[in-house]
Structure 1
Amino acid sequence: MANPLLQVDTLTKSFGDRLLFQDISFGISEGDKIGLIANNGSGKTTLLNILAGKEPYDEGRIVFRNSIRVAYLEQDPVFNPDQTVLEACFNHQNEIVTAIARYEEALASDTQEGLQDAFTQMDLLKAWDYEQRIKQILGKLNIHRLSQKMGELSGGQIKRIALANVLISEPDLILLDEPTNHLDLNMVEWLEDYLSRSAISLLMVTHDRYFLDRVCSKIWELDSSGLYTYEGNYSYFLEKREERISARNAETERAKNLLRKELEWMRRQPQARATKAKSRIDAFYKLEDKARAQKQEDNLRLAAKGLYIGNKIFEARHVTKHFGDLCITKDFSYVFSRYEKMGIVGNNGTGKSTFIKMLLGEMEPDSGDFDIGETVRFGYYSQDGLEFDNQAKVIDVVKDIAEVIDLGDGTRLTASQFLQHFLFAPDKQHNYVYKLSGGEKRRLYLCTVLIKNPNFLVLDEPTNDLDIVTLSILEDYLAQFKGCVIVISHDRYFMDKVTDHLLVFDGKGVITNYPGNYTQYREWKSQEDQKQVESVKPRTSDPHTFKPASPLKNKLTFKEKKELEQLEKEIGLFEKEKGLIEENLSSGTLPSDKLIEASTRYSDLLTLIDDKTFRWMELSERL
């Protein structure tokens, strides 16, 4: 049985009269990888904040195992804007950074008091190569300018640095709130592989369903103030959740039938209410609550017609755009078809959002142009489009745009009805905007775009901060949308369901038109990469045919072979010296001056071994 890391009993949390969860109990053990799912505003982030000690709770008990290391990736991390990227990583408080600080403090003091203990702790936490690990993880997350000030970075870059801090510290348990937000598709796949291979336990909130499916072995669902657990991945969760809801609805129907009989009994004796059996009256009110508890599935079909759109949509004609040395597009031409649903993919910084802004006329290309059809009416959902009056009511925000939306089949929905389709219940519609969670504000922003009834939707990262239920509704809406769609998203599941072909940006001005969804593209790309690798491998000659061997371009020179032999000897000697120093330092018999000398030499050896090993690997690959 796995060792427990955390046990939570009868946890309750509310905000005023709004109950988030009540009497929920759960445990997390070593090796658990858990995905937490709920509608926006149900308390996912609040629960993570409570476990991280950043928010109080009303009732219950939370017990962590002694000496456990916990790291938390917040949805909106905050850093000192005056720090550099590297300083932000070293100033991020965790056990390893604290150990490094203690070691450096003891080393710099006159008496070297506590140096032996500090050294032992550094060794125990594997803190000697911490800076190298920082650089490796930041590189994987496409953060390379380590001297750049934090105040100069975008929100996405800050989130990636916070993620790097979490991963570098190698905790026993990590809490992740939307870890894939602001990561491009290659980074998401790298993180997916890293977490699935790692022994770290985790509890995470994410809307990325492929990520959930491939990383998590358990799913927890917050629903109706309770917590439901599913021992399987996201696909298993979908199947079992449907069974749970069906059973719950069947139970509710039975309760409704029984309630009708009880109502008749209550009404027959109004004058004798005081003498009725108290237990039966109490049971009646409990039954009434159960009868009202039927789960309404909110993924109702919306098939908005959109305004009429002609045959001419838009044509990109020899479009070129640069930002300094970065080439976004180079002589790009494309004719967009009627009812086309296109996905745009590429690493961060390759110009996807810039392309969209040129299409919408918000930015001018260096040369070339976009010819837009006269009937095209854009609806644009941008990454930074959340600009609401926080003192306005939700219903008024939508009504200010349109009172009704035409679904195209003779059906018209009022603003209130439209909001209900996107999970804003009538009582929620009269809340002020400032009371909404981040995900709920995103959902409201989506409603303000769709209710304008455009015929060409342009969605730039629409999946960020939206819950899975809302994404399912949006996917159904787009599948039946009678118009054109362009989507930029790192959510592979969403892209697969919504788009029928891709534009792939490589960051060097080349844009590839791929006829298929994202999964098909990745399979094709993997095959092409494999062919590329195989094409540069030396081919074995036919045993029956004499062919003179052709020299390899990168074959080692005589001098490099000698260098490789010397490196092997040097690395062996350095490793042996390192082992001897470790034994002396652990003995506790060295005087203070020798202890300082040995510690300094030990740090130098680690650097030398890293440098020599890197060069050895570089040369070995060319043998």
Structure 2
Amino acid sequence: MNLVNLESVSHAFGPKPLLADVSLGLEQGDRIGVVGRNGGGKTTLISIIAGTLKPDSGRVTHTRGLRVGTLSQRDQFDPDTAVKDIVLGGRAEHEWAGDPAIREILANLLGDIDLAAPAGALSGGERRRTALARLLVEEHDLLILDEPTNHLDIEAIAWLAGHLVQRKSALLVVTHDRWFLDAVSTRTWEVVDGSVERYEGGYAAYVLAKAERARIAQAAEDRRQNLMRKEIAWLRRGPPARTSKPKFRINAAEALIANEPPVRETVELLNFASARLGKTVVDLEDVTLHAGGPGSGPLVLDRCTYQLGPGDRIGLIGVNGSGKSSVLRLLSGTVEHDSGRVVRGKTVRLAHLSQELAELDPTRRVLETVEEIRKYVQVGKKEWSASQLLERLGFRGEAQWKVVGDLSGGERRRLQLLRLIMDEPNVLLLDEPTNDLDIETLTELEDLLDAWPGTLVVVSHDRYFLERVADRCVALLGDGTMSMLPGGVDEYLERRAAGQALSARAASGAAGPAEQVRPDSQPVQDAGLSAKELRELQKELNRLERQIDKFGEREAKLHAQMAEAASDFERLGTLDAELRDIAAQKEAAELEWMTLAERLDQ
């Protein structure tokens, strides 16, 4: 059944048309992800579909009795109203408590929130979860969600995706979270240049289909360019011959020239050179850290030992409030630890992208903000000015003279990223770098980080981005350590679910002798190992990882040397023997690593 129809809809803000003569429909059972650049018209499109915005022209038709539920980017509540009243309205307790669907929503979104608390006491993440819970407890024919994953942690995002897939209502969602798009969407709409391009499948299918469309379009454009060159040459053969030229040929050639498409705006991030890192980057030795400084706030690390090595690409995972940002500040040296030792390498040039972007002076101009870091930078054999780099990053013309305080969140994020990489660091600490960035900018950022030769530590709730740029995941699980996750985000979710189930059994008195809970609320998955033994195990795992990496590098060098010595049989035999020896040592180290990892996870 058709739910919503748009016929020749157009809408503009100022001189820029966001939608131009758009016609499309949304049917029962559709789950559609909406993508596009920031400011490109995504929110305008879903607002028109929801009926909260009237288009400048065209017609919008809703099926009779359509129940539409919307989630906007701003969660506005009466600060004095209790969470319970916001979410459940006038439902009696026996009514909602006896409904398993409502209980599941409350448990997964509001399990750690006091339902009697006033809305004014909620954090940004808690407000988002409250708004989602209020929406999901109601029945709707169509759910329209604008950035539903903002402020949610990986665990909540995974639950929300599963919940939406199981609902019978149609879904229209705008989000920059590509993992979430893939998990919930069966179709994708891209809002671009005033039109809506439609693709079958989620984000991955959309990327493949768009690449194929681009290939076909490029082939057609190449043919058109060849034809245009011939027609232009024909037109320029001199005025005397012009009268003898057929009029339709002149019109066709002029049409080719007039239809030359403008160059589309692209966001481009450059691969800057970095200073070489030594063997030591940052070593934590028996470090104790509280979130609010020595002895203040929740305990984040308890006598933790961890080594961050050259070239490491680490994704740091944990629930909101677990201390991820505190760990980044510890690594950057901007927060004091209680005890232990933090050793930083002499060659480390560190850059830290925080969530708050407090480093940006809101009264300065964009160009001035970049030039205070560096006015010129050498990239390869070419020297670039700050203005040229800003232009390549999307700040063109007058945009470079905007006051920083007037920039959007995404623009401020891009500006801060440029400032960081212009200083040529070799260690990057990124705290929620994907906030407010559109998918195009995220793709460019990932491309930059692919070629990044330094050390990278990323905190992000964007699972797609995290799995894309990080080689290994480390979690803060509340036990005072940084736990390695060989299985990545999936393992993190499994361990969190297992821990919650064990805590629930312990709280109900159902825990058996093998499921006792220690005073520090940690399950005895580490039974038989003392805290010191756990730290030694972790240290040994880190040593083995570095050793395996070195074996891999040596193997690559030996292969290259064997290729060069192809005609020297004596030399080839020596290299081959060394290669077999290295391969055997590498295999032994890998087996040892697997044994220790299994022991650590038991």
Deviations, residues 390-425 of structure 1 (Å, cap 9, x unaligned):
676544443343223344x44443334433554445
Which residue matches 1:309?
Answer: 277
| 1:252 and 1:294 in contact (8 A); partners too | no
| 1:255 and 1:291 in contact (8 A); partners too | no
Write the letter of the residue equivalent to 2:47: N
Q: Which segment is superposed worse, 472-481 or 148-157?
A: 148-157
Which residue matches 2:143?
Answer: 174
State the TM-score, normalized to the length of structure 1: 0.71
| Aligned: 1:463 with 2:415 | no
Superposed counterparts of 1:198-213, under 5 Å: 198-213=167-182
User: Following the alignment from structure 1 to structure 2, what is the Cα–Cα distance between the partners of residues 375 and 5?
Assistant: 61
Q: Which has the higher contact order (CA 8 A, sep 6+)?
A: 1
User: Following the alignment from structure 2 to structure 1, what is the Cα–Cα distance between the partners of residues 401 and 94?
Assistant: 53
Q: Which segment is superposed worse, 452-461 or 254-263?
A: 254-263
Which residue matches 1:378?
Answer: 350
User: Following the alignment from structure 1 to structure 2, what is the Cα–Cα distance between the partners of residues 389 and 526?
Assistant: 40
Q: Which segment is superposed worse, 467-476 or 49-58?
A: 49-58
Which residue matches 1:69?
Answer: 67
| 2:4 and 2:49 in contact (8 A); partners too | no
| 1:41 and 1:440 in contact (8 A); partners too | no
| 1:12 and 1:24 in contact (8 A); partners too | yes
Which residue matches 2:524?
Answer: none
Write the letter of the residue equivalent to 1:307: A
Runs of 5+ consecutive residues of structure 2 not aligned to the other structure: 514-602
Cα distance change, pair 459–470 in 1 and its aligned pair in 2 (3 A):
same
Cα distance change, pair 5–513 in 1 and its aligned pair in 2 (3 A):
same
| Aligned: 1:365 with 2:329 | no
Cα distance change, pair 440–260 in 1 and its aligned pair in 2 (3 A):
same
User: Following the alignment from structure 1 to structure 2, what is the Cα–Cα distance between the partners of residues 553 and 224?
Assistant: 62
Out of 121, 130, 142, the residue aligned to residue 152 of structure 1 is 121
User: Following the alignment from structure 2 to structure 1, what is the Cα–Cα distance between the partners of residues 186 and 170?
Assistant: 11
| 1:460 and 1:487 in contact (8 A); partners too | yes
User: Following the alignment from structure 1 to structure 2, what is the Cα–Cα distance between the partners of residues 151 and 387?
Assistant: 28
Superposed counterparts of 1:270-281, under 5 Å: none
User: Following the alignment from structure 2 to structure 1, what is the Cα–Cα distance between the partners of residues 456 and 498?
Assistant: 28
Out of 457, 462, 484, the residue aligned to residue 455 of structure 2 is 484
SS of 2:259's partner is: helix
Identity of aligned residues (%): 36
1:451 CA displacement: 2.3
Which residue matches 1:242?
Answer: 211
| 1:461 and 1:490 in contact (8 A); partners too | yes
Write the letter of the residue equivalent to 1:213: D
| Aligned: 1:334 with 2:303 | no
| Aligned: 1:493 with 2:464 | yes
Which residue matches 1:129?
Answer: 96
Aligned residues between the structures: 502
Cα distance change, pair 515–6 in 1 and its aligned pair in 2 (3 A):
same
| 2:19 and 2:41 in contact (8 A); partners too | yes
| 1:248 and 1:294 in contact (8 A); partners too | no
State the TM-score, normalized to the length of structure 2: 0.73
1:85 CA displacement: 2.1
SS of 1:305's partner is: coil
Which residue matches 1:588?
Answer: none
Runs of 5+ consecutive residues of structure 1 not aligned to the other structure: 91-96, 105-125, 537-550, 555-623
User: Following the alignment from structure 1 to structure 2, what is the Cα–Cα distance between the partners of residues 46 and 206?
Assistant: 14
Which residue matches 1:404?
Answer: 376
Which residue matches 1:609?
Answer: none
Write the letter of the residue equivalent to 1:358: L
| 1:500 and 1:516 in contact (8 A); partners too | no
| Aligned: 1:192 with 2:161 | yes
| Aligned: 1:215 with 2:184 | yes
User: Following the alignment from structure 1 to structure 2, what is the Cα–Cα distance between the partners of residues 168 and 238?
Assistant: 34
Which residue matches 2:414?
Answer: 443
Write the letter of the residue equivalent to 2:328: I
1:233 CA displacement: 2.1
1:173 CA displacement: 1.1
1:237 CA displacement: 1.2
1:270 CA displacement: 7.8
User: Following the alignment from structure 1 to structure 2, what is the Cα–Cα distance between the partners of residues 138 and 310?
Assistant: 50
Cα distance change, pair 321–448 in 1 and its aligned pair in 2 (3 A):
same
Which residue matches 1:162?
Answer: 131
Cα distance change, pair 438–44 in 1 and its aligned pair in 2 (3 A):
farther
Which residue matches 2:202?
Answer: 233
Cα distance change, pair 415–553 in 1 and its aligned pair in 2 (3 A):
closer
| Aligned: 1:140 with 2:108 | yes
User: Following the alignment from structure 1 to structure 2, what is the Cα–Cα distance between the partners of residues 410 and 64?
Assistant: 59
Out of 428, 439, 444, the residue aligned to residue 473 of structure 1 is 444
1:218 CA displacement: 0.0
Deviations, residues 490-509 of structure 1 (Å, cap 9, x unaligned):
12221222112222111232
